[in-house]
Amino acid sequence: MNGLQAYQRVNAQTSITDADPHRLIHLLYSGALERINMAKARMQSKDFEGKGKLINKAIEIIGGLRGFLDFEKGGDLAVRLEALYDYMEHALFEANLNNNPKKLDEVADLLRSIKDGWDGIREEVISQQQAV
């Protein structure tokens, strides 16, 4: 099992190192969703310590996403995303505090919606980068 985990870590690090900025945001969304899903499983199996660590990691990732917001270029969209990220962080904290899987599902649904939109503009972003 340790060998598999080491391989996964190296694979993840390679993906991050080779990622363009758009892909990096995609990886952050995916990572947050993965942590939330794992936290839900830990919550259901009554592994509250593991659940707490995973939820805290998801909160950190969402904080990282917030750090990528460009308010100058993003305008109102960036402001609305910041408010949504803030809501998600609070909802995850509440889910952790109250062992509430519905809150985890709510945040995962919100993240999936944003991620789907982000993934949908990938080709446009690549075209713009190649044109520069």
The DSSP annotation for 67-99 comes to HT--HHHHHHHHHHHHHHHHHHHHHHHHHHHHT
Q: How far apart are CA 72 and CA 58, in angstroms?
A: 26
Q: Are 55 and 95 in contact (CB under 8 A)?
A: yes
According to DSSP, residue 104 is labeled H
Q: Where are the beta strands (DSSP E) in 7-125?
A: none
- Tell me the residue type at 6: A
Residue 22 has a pLDDT of 82
Model confidence pTM above 0.85 = no
Closest CA to 26 of 108, 123, 115: 115
Q: Are 91 and 103 in contact (CB under 8 A)?
A: yes
pLDDT-flagged residues of the chain (< 70) = 1-19, 125-132
Residue 125 has a pLDDT of 65
According to DSSP, residue 18 is labeled T
Residue 19 has a pLDDT of 65
* Domains of the chain from N-terminus onward: 20-131 (1.20.120.340)
